[in-house]
Structure 1
Amino acid sequence: MKTTTAPATTEADAAPPPRTSLPRRLAATPEVGVVAACVVVFVSLALDKSTFASAVNLQGMGFDLAQYGLIAIGESLVILTGGIDLSVGALLGTSVILMSWFNVRAGLPAAVAILITLAIAGTVGLIHGLAVTRLKMAPFVVTLVTYTVAQGVTLAITSGTSITGISGLFGDVGQSYVAQIPLPLIIFAVVAVAAWFFLERTYAGRQVYAVGGNAEAARLAGIRGDRRIVSMYVTSSLLSAVAGIMVLGRMGVGSASGVGVGWELSAIAAAVIGGVSLVGGQGRIIGIAAGTILLELINNGLTTLQINSNYTNIVLGCVLGLAITADRLRARSVARRS
């Protein structure tokens, strides 16, 4: 009988792969650029204007960050599946009006008004998900319809007037502090950690990346992609309503004037700046949070420097354009390496 012997293992084969240095590992992290940008912008503004780093201003940024951050997380979850949600800002504004109307005009307790509004928002998200998965409608079109309808509903309910006399519960949520930290910022942090855990530590979260990266391959692997897509649209709509609670608490009245208008652009910008690919399947929560922080630093910095607010959208558009360009260059680089 002929016997064979295994090839001898050389010392080079047995040696473990060389360890990468910490600077190289950091440089290879997709989010390091936006995190570094946050540090540079903050330090520059703090050195130029001492009031920028004051406790009062930082607390104000914390309130704003929580509002934008929640809808940015919801928007990012949808983008990870390869979709888009243009209704997050308009739905936030409608949620503010619905909670005010249920609480004041219908005479319902604040908690009940919140629950009903959350149920309505969740239903809207469910409709989005089913239209995209069952009817194969383009996410852009579906959510654009909701964007238009939501704005119309908001104006129809208020008739251009504000709803006053809302419950103090909204103020307790939107204006309270815990150890000098704004309560909305803590809520945002909890949601961000929960989203991070879901995406990076659960099987369902990995399925979201798989569906967004290659829906057909995910289907052949036995992943029920439709469920993941629907759940992300529902989550996005719910987070818009939760952000609406914070906005209503800060304003103290149910007003339709400018609330949530254009916020969907900020949410998309924060996601893309944070490394979320517009084609889906790529992006992490830490980058999304950093992207939101960077936008808030820029917005607040322009105000602190007393720059005309009309230039804010110009700066935001330029930052978004650079982020989208970087996203496409990154996608082409990955394609070439593959």
Structure 2
Amino acid sequence: MKTSTAPAPSEADAGAEARGSLARRLRETPEVGVVAACVVVFAALAIDRSTFADAVNLQGMGFDLAQYGLIAIGESLVILTGGIDLSVGALLGTSVILMSWFNVRAGLPPVVAVLATLAITGLVGLLHGLAVTRLKMAPFVVTLVTYTVAQGVTLAITSGTSITGIGGLFGDIGQTYVAQIPLPLILFAVVAVAAWFFLERTYVGRQVYAVGGNAEAARLAGIRGDRRVVAMYVTSSLLSGFAGIMVLGRMGVGSASGVGVGWELSAIAAAVIGGVSLVGGQGRIVGIVAGTVLLEFINNGLTILQINSDYTNIVLGCVLALAITADRLRARGIARRG
């Protein structure tokens, strides 16, 4: 009696299967698209305008990237838990004024002024977290209140004037270069690596994803979800204060004029463009950094091309709409595939 055996797969079949598997993983990895977009935008602008890729402009983008990137990481940590923080921009602006006031008008040393400001921003984040977890208030409402109050506090302290004469420490942080690389950009890179390690290499970081993906399932698994949510709100507010140090050092004065206004939209856009799901539980630091870089390329490119700044928000809104649409389509596609 003869037995038949199935033909062994050929090398060509194995190669095709491997390529199909790789293509499928690439389709389901949002970071690939945004990284490719960064490369394309950078190349196109560098070819069209040689000044875009020169050292001076790249260093300027490095300073901007550090400021926006820090609040984007903080915003993303909150979104990963299923929440939202609309106060990151306004809180950054308030931290600039608080540090200036503590240093110049209260006469505190720069280090003490920074620590006092970070303590206040951390307390604000703690209140956000407790309101969301204990009082079950909507994150949108809680942080919108802080957004409004922070802007009011900023204007009340300055009365429309700038605070001058700040300590040299702020300038040392906000304007220093290390091997021609802006120090704020290096600090941002350190924070990004720390956030990446926390989310992807620690047990607590994985719990953050679990809470954002399904809070009830996380609770049944013994995860203290409320603590994770509170911690992310505190971290977001602290990063807003930390970014304020860089902004103050770069400006050299404590001014309420336009500082932080609308930056929360850029932070949310960077997160969503980078693959962070607005429903929580999905997203990685690599994508968030790439999303921030892409937005900076676009903003700077519009300036280099001498396009009216009034169109910047239009472009930002269109990019954000495309990112949200892509996020929903990707989520539906993954759900259909089970």
Identify the TM-score tier after normalising by the shorter chain.
Answer: over 0.9
For 1:285, the equivalent position in structure 2 comes to: 285
Q: Which whole-Å deviations, capped at 9, do the CAs of 1:38-92 have from their partners, x for residues lacking one?
A: 0000000000000000000000000000000000000000000000000000000
Gaps of 5+ in 2: 1-5, 9-13
State the AA in 2 paired with 1:167. G
For 1:45, the equivalent position in structure 2 comes to: 45
For 1:57, the equivalent position in structure 2 comes to: 57
State the AA in 1 paired with 2:29. T
In 2, distance between residues paired with 1:127 and 1:295? 30
Per the TM alignment, residue 30 of structure 1 is displaced from its structure 2 partner at its CA by: 2.3
Per the TM alignment, residue 337 of structure 1 is displaced from its structure 2 partner at its CA by: 2.0
For 2:3, the equivalent position in structure 1 comes to: none
In 2, distance between residues paired with 1:36 and 1:61? 19
**TM-score of the superposition, structure 1-length normalised?**
0.94
State the AA in 2 paired with 1:91. L
Q: Does 1:20 align with 2:18?
A: yes
SS in 2 for 1:31: helix
Q: Does 1:105 align with 2:105?
A: yes
Q: Percent identity?
A: 87
Asked if structure 1 preserves the Cα contact closer than 8 Å seen for 2:28 and 2:330, the reply is no
For 1:311, the equivalent position in structure 2 comes to: 311
In 1, distance between residues paired with 2:27 and 2:181? 32
SS in 2 for 1:163: coil
Q: Does 1:217 align with 2:217?
A: yes
Per the TM alignment, residue 29 of structure 1 is displaced from its structure 2 partner at its CA by: 2.7
**TM-score of the superposition, structure 2-length normalised?**
0.94
Aligned pairs for 1:95-174 (under 5 A) are 95-174=95-174
Gaps of 5+ in 1: 1-9
SS in 1 for 2:165: coil
For 2:262, the equivalent position in structure 1 comes to: 262
In 2, distance between residues paired with 1:33 and 1:63? 25
State the AA in 2 paired with 1:131. A
In 2, distance between residues paired with 1:144 and 1:328? 25
For 1:91, the equivalent position in structure 2 comes to: 91
Q: Which whole-Å deviations, capped at 9, do the CAs of 1:168-227 have from their partners, x for residues lacking one?
A: 110000000000000000000000000000000000000000000000000000000000
Q: Which whole-Å deviations, capped at 9, do the CAs of 1:123-167 have from their partners, x for residues lacking one?
A: 000000000000000000000000000000000000000000000
For 2:33, the equivalent position in structure 1 comes to: 33
What is the RMSD computed on CA atoms of the aligned residues?
Answer: 1.7
In 1, distance between residues paired with 2:31 and 2:52? 25
Asked if structure 1 preserves the Cα contact closer than 8 Å seen for 2:275 and 2:284, the reply is yes
Q: Which whole-Å deviations, capped at 9, do the CAs of 1:280-315 have from their partners, x for residues lacking one?
A: 000000000000000000000000000000000000
Asked if structure 1 preserves the Cα contact closer than 8 Å seen for 2:274 and 2:288, the reply is yes
For 1:235, the equivalent position in structure 2 comes to: 235
Asked if structure 1 preserves the Cα contact closer than 8 Å seen for 2:164 and 2:254, the reply is yes
In 2, distance between residues paired with 1:337 and 1:28? 11
Per the TM alignment, residue 328 of structure 1 is displaced from its structure 2 partner at its CA by: 1.1
Per the TM alignment, residue 26 of structure 1 is displaced from its structure 2 partner at its CA by: 4.2
Per the TM alignment, residue 331 of structure 1 is displaced from its structure 2 partner at its CA by: 1.6
Per the TM alignment, residue 317 of structure 1 is displaced from its structure 2 partner at its CA by: 0.4
In 1, distance between residues paired with 2:252 and 2:18? 53
Aligned residues, how many? 327
In 1, distance between residues paired with 2:213 and 2:29? 19
For 1:196, the equivalent position in structure 2 comes to: 196
State the AA in 2 paired with 1:20. A
For 1:3, the equivalent position in structure 2 comes to: none
